[in-house]
C-alpha cells in the first residue's frame, strides 16, 4: 500500500506576495489501494469534485506520466476547498507524487517542485507543501528557486469563513499596475520580512506581516472578517494577522498561549460564523510511506 501526505499551506504572509509560504499541520492524505480497470477516487468533497480520471489528482499524475496504470485511490482531507489554504496545491503535489512513485523513472524533488509550480502558476503554496516549514521561492525564466528558512517558533490561529472565495475572483480584485513608490515600499517591507524570519526575529516579523502593499487593501472588501480579526487581536496587544493566500481564510501567528486566547475571543463574536483551527507549523512537507 502506498500512502502520500501533503500539508495545507498558508501563502503570501502579508507582503510576501506569491513568494512566501508556510506549511501547516492539516493534511491531505492519498492512499493507493491498487490497480483497477479505470481510475476510481473516493473523497470527501461532494459530487462537484470528480471521482474518475477527471479528478485533479489523477489529471496531474497523468500530466507527469501519461501511461500510468489506473488505480483505486482514497483521499482524506480536512483542508477546505477554495478557502486560501492551498487545497489545489495539495492535490497537485499529491498527484505528482503519485505518478513519481509509480513511475519507472522517478524525477528529483527539485524537478517535482518545478512541475508543481508550472501547474499552479507560482511557487508560494507548492514549495512549502513539498519542502515543509517556511519557504521563500521565486519562479522566473522557467526556473524555480526555493529557500527554506528556519521553522518559526509560532502557532497559527486559523479562521476559515463558511463562504468560498475563488482565486480567480480574488485575483480580479487586484490592480493591473502599482504606483512606483508603492511598489518600492512593498518590496522593501517584504525584503525586511524575509530578513527578520531568517534571523528568527519573530516580533519584527509579526509586525511586518500586517504592512502589505501588494494585495490585502484591494481584497479587504471581499473578506470583511480580516479587519474584525485584526482589530480583535490588536485589542489584545497582538500583531501578526494576514490574509492567507487569496483568502478568505485569515491567519494570525503568535505563541500558542496567545493564539488560544485569541480564538476564545473570535469564537465569542457572533459575526464570525466560520471555523477556527489552532495549527502548529508542519516541518515534514510531502511524505510518502510504503507498506
- Locate 242 and state its grid cell: 494576514
116 assigned to a ligand binding site? no
86 assigned to a ligand binding site? yes
216 contacts 19 by C-beta, under 8 angstroms: no
83 assigned to a ligand binding site? yes
Distances (CA, A) of 277 to 31, 33, 85, 135: 25, 30, 12, 22
Distance CA 181, CA 189 (A): 12
88 assigned to a ligand binding site? yes
274 assigned to a ligand binding site? no
Distance CA 111, CA 33 (A): 26
Q: How far, in whole angstroms, is CA 247 from its chain's centroid?
A: 10
Distance CA 206, CA 202 (A): 6
69 assigned to a ligand binding site? no
19 assigned to a ligand binding site? no
203 assigned to a ligand binding site? no
283 assigned to a ligand binding site? no
112 assigned to a ligand binding site? no
84 assigned to a ligand binding site? yes
Residues pairing with 28 in the sheet: 6, 77
* Binding site residue list: 80-90
* Binding site residue list for ATP: 80-90
Amino acid at each position: 500500500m502506498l500512502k502520500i501526505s501533503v500539508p495545507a499551506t498558508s501563502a503570501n504572509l502579508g507582503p510576501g506576495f506569491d513568494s512566501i509560504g508556510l506549511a501547516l499541520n492539516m493534511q491531505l492524505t492519498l492512499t493507493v489501494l491498487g490497480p483497477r480497470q479505470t481510475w476510481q477516487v473516493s473523497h470527501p468533497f461532494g459530487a462537484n469534485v470528480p471521482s474518475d480520471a477527471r479528478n485533479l489528482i489523477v489529471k496531474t499524475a497523468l500530466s507527469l506520466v501519461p501511461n500510468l496504470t489506473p488505480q483505486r485511490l482514497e483521499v482524506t482531507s480536512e483542508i477546505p476547498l477554495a478557502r486560501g489554504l492551498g487545497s489545489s496545491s495539495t492535490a497537485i503535489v499529491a498527484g505528482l507524487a503519485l505518478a513519481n512513485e509509480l513511475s519507472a523513472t522517478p524525477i528529483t524533488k527539485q524537478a517535482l517542485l518545478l512541475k508543481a509550480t508550472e501547474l499552479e502558476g507560482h511557487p508560494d503554496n507548492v514549495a512549502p507543501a513539498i519542502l515543509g516549514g517556511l519557504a521563500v521561492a521565486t519562479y522566473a525564466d522557467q526556473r524555480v528557486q526555493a529557500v527554506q528558512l528556519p521553522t518559526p517558533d509560532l502557532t497559527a490561529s486559523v479562521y476559515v469563513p463558511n463562504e468560498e472565495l475563488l482565486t480567480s475572483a480574488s485575483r480580479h480584485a487586484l490592480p493591473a499596475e502599482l504606483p512606483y513608490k508603492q511598489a518600492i515600499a512593498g518590496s522593501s517591507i517584504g525584503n525586511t520580512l524575509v530578513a527578520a524570519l531568517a534571523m528568527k526575529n519573530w516580533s519584527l516579523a509579526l509586525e511586518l506581516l500586517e504592512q502589505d502593499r501588494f494585495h490585502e487593501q484591494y481584497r479587504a472588501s471581499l473578506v470583511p472578517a480580516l479587519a474584525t480579526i485584526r482589530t480583535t487581536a490588536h485589542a489584545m496587544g497582538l500583531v501578526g494577522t494576514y490574509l492567507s493566500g487569496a483568502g478568505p481564510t485569515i491567519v494570525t501567528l503568535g505563541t500558542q498561549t496567545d493564539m488560544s486566547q485569541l480564538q476564545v475571543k473570535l469564537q465569542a463574536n457572533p459575526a464570525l460564523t466560520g471555523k477556527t483551527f489552532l495549527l502548529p507549523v508542519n516541518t515534514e512537507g510531502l511524505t510518502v510511506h510504503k507498506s
